């Protein structure tokens, strides 16, 4: 059998799933859809995290510029 690194998937479970898929092929599609949806959610979460970090950095830079302007040399 195939050796998988995932701790919860044993060879026995893999054999059972294979037999189940051979008798009911539509389950493969259902499982594939579940995996694809999960992958899409993970991608969305990661890209949102990156966007949030970029926005935080822009906000920090803007705040620093604003402070520099406010504390800058006065004309008087």
Cβ neighbourhood burial of 69 (10 Å; 0-12, 13-18, 19+): exposed
Position 55 in a domain: yes
pLDDT tens digits for range 9-25: 667 777 777 777 777 77
Report, as an integer, the average pLDDT of 1-16. Answer: 64
Residue 75 domain-assigned? Answer: no
Nearest to 17, CA basis, from 39, 37, 32? 32
Judge whether 17 and 32 are in contact, CB under 8 Å: no
Q: Is 37 within a domain?
A: yes
- Read off the pLDDT of residues 22-76 as tens digits, 9 standing for 90 and up: 777 777 778 778 878 887 787 788 788 888 888 888 888 888 888 888 887 766 5
* 5 within a domain of the structure (yes/no): no
Q: Is there a domain that residue 70 lies in? A: no
The residue segments making up the domain with residue 47 are 11-65
Residue 32, in any domain of the structure: yes
pTM > 0.75: no
73 within a domain of the structure (yes/no)? no
Instruction: Count up the domains in the chain and report the number.
Output: 1
């Amino acid at each position: 059998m195939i050796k998988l690194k995932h701790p919860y998937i044993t060879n026995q479970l893999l054999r059972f799933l294979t037999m189940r898929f051979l008798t009911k092929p539509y389950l493969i599609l259902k499982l594939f859809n579940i995996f694809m949806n999960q992958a899409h959610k993970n991608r969305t979460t990661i890209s949102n995290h990156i966007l949030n970090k970029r926005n935080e950095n822009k906000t920090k830079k803007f705040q620093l510029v604003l402070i520099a302007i406010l504390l800058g040399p006065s004309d008087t």
